[in-house]
């Protein structure tokens, strides 16, 4: 018999009861927010503004890993770096109710970061530089490390072992991915001694709210890795000139607060390739969650894997020295 899907028992009554068990009075209002990895809700409160609650995906992170995420957010907040940190209730940030772990956050409004706004990009550079100056002070002990093994070989092996790759494409897929992984390894070797620091890890426009400046809203994927991982996803230029102009703006702001190792720029295409492999495996690992086939109906189709072959081959070509 198949195990029950994650969140099978997570219903409005359980959510509201979990929060009220912390001594908080809910109004009964509950609004689901856009999130697939975790379950996130806006919860109405009786005598205060609504709160945001995040119910963590079962069996994804250990308690120690989640608490490191929370501690990092609180550390940044203490240094007046604008990040939405978990609320401390009864001396804790991580709570448990009927097998579900959850945290509470203040609601934060804002608009989407404008990636084509050079002033915003320079501001983001200063913001990330400040974040990295704190992130470089000490390492994570219980979070992932962004490297070829964790974000490349492991996702690839999972996709093969779980039989997600169509038989007609498997030979070509394996050939391209194994070539790509070798190229990624060579890129890291050419970059030399790259420092691994605590990062946001998923620093794209969707995880930034803009309101008189940037504010990070989600540290769920924070990890150890090279600093450029928090930079390359903010670059959206269509030409080399546009890309270089955007990178220059970000790094001009960044270097005001933290020294950037310019050898890391050689890792951008390698990191992009690792993200592509990791993303496919992420969707595959979540395919037993009913929310995923509904939200990503194009995944695991023949057309999806055919497009992946083309995209991964393009990365191989880009990684040729």
Among 12-16, 59-63, 110-114, 159-163, which stretch is predicted with the lowest mean pLDDT?
110-114
Task: Grade residue 168 by pLDDT with cuts at 50, 70 and 90.
Answer: very high
Residue 271 Cα distances to 98, 128, 192, 203, angstroms? 38, 18, 15, 13
pTM over 0.85: yes
Q: What pLDDT, on a 0 to 100 scale, did the predictor assign at position 1?
A: 41
- Domain 26-107 annotated CATH 1.25.40.10: no
- Span 263-289, pLDDT tens digits: 999 999 999 999 999 999 999 999 999
Q: Which residues are catalytic?
A: 202, 218
Query: Could you give the percent of the chain with pLDDT greater than 70?
Result: 99
Instruction: Give me the mean pLDDT over the 286-308 stretch.
Output: 95
Q: What pLDDT, on a 0 to 100 scale, did the predictor assign at position 237?
A: 78
Q: How far apart are CA 112 and CA 319, in angstroms?
A: 31
Q: Is the pLDDT reported for residue 320 higher than 90?
A: no
- Under a CB-based contact definition with an 8 Å cutoff, are residues 230 and 264 in contact? no
* Residue ranges covered by each domain of the chain: 26-107, 118-318
Q: Is the pLDDT reported for residue 7 higher than 80?
A: yes
Strands 214-216 and 39-45: unpaired
Among 138-147, 201-210, 266-275, which stretch is predicted with the lowest mean pLDDT?
201-210
- Span 11-41, pLDDT tens digits: 999 999 999 999 999 999 999 998 889 999 9
Among 154-158, 198-202, 207-211, which stretch is predicted with the lowest mean pLDDT?
207-211
Considering the chain, what is the average pLDDT of its residues?
A: 94
Task: Grade residue 92 by pLDDT with cuts at 50, 70 and 90.
Answer: very high
Q: How far apart are CA 144 and CA 172, in angstroms?
A: 30
Instruction: Give me the mean pLDDT over the 134-152 stretch.
Output: 97
Instruction: Give me the mean pLDDT over the 230-237 stretch.
Output: 92
- Span 213-226, pLDDT tens digits: 899 888 999 999 99
Instruction: Give me the mean pLDDT over the 71-87 stretch.
Output: 95
Q: Is the pLDDT reported for residue 154 higher than 70?
A: yes
Instruction: Please report the DSSP string for 187-216 in residue order.
Output: HHHHH-SPPPEEE-S--SGGGEEESSSEEE
Task: Grade residue 2 by pLDDT with cuts at 50, 70 and 90.
Answer: low
- Domain 118-318 annotated CATH 1.10.510.10: yes
Q: What pLDDT, on a 0 to 100 scale, did the predictor assign at position 261?
A: 96
Instruction: Give me the mean pLDDT over the 70-95 stretch.
Output: 96
Q: How far apart are CA 124 and CA 146, in angstroms?
A: 22
Q: Which of 174, 152, 140, 160 is nearest to 62 (CA)?
A: 140
């Amino acid at each position: 018999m198949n195990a029950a899907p994650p969140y099978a028992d997570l219903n409005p009554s359980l959510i509201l009861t979990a929060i009220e068990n912390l001594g908080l009075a809910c109004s009964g209002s509950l609004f689901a927010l856009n999130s697939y990895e975790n379950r996130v809700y806006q919860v109405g409160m009786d005598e205060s503004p609504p709160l945001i609650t995040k119910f963590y995906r079962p069996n994804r992170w250990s308690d120690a890993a989640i608490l490191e995420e929370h501690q990092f957010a609180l550390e940044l907040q203490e240094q007046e770096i604008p990040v939405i940190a978990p609320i401390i209730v009864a001396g804790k940030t991580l709570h448990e109710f009927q097998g579900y772990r959850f945290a509470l956050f203040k609601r934060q409004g804002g608009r989407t970061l404008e990636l084509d706004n050079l002033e915003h990009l320079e501001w983001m550079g200063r913001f990330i530089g400040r974040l990295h100056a704190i992130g470089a002070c000490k390492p994570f002990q219980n979070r992932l490390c962004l490297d070829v093994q964790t974000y490349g070989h492991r996702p690839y092996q999972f996709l093969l072992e779980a039989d997600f790759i169509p038989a007609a494409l498997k030979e070509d897929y394996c050939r391209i991915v194994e070539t790509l992984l070798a190229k990624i390894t060579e890129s890291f070797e050419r970059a030399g001694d790259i420092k691994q620091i605590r990062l946001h890890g998923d620093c794209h426009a969707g995880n930034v709210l803009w309101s008189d400046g940037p504010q990070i809203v989600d540290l769920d994927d924070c990890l150890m890795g090279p600093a450029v991982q928090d930079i390359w996803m903010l670059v959206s230029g269509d030409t080399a000139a546009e890309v270089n102009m955007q990178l220059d703006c970000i790094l001009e702001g960044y270097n005001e607060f933290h020294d950037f190792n310019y050898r890391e720029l050689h890792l951008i295409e390698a990191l992009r390739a690792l993200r592509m492999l990791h993303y496919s495996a992420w969707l595959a690992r979540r395919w037993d969650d009913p929310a995923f086939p509904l939200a990503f109906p194009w995944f695991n189709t023949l057309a999806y894997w055919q497009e992946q072959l083309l995209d991964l081959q393009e990365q191989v070509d880009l990684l040729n020295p």
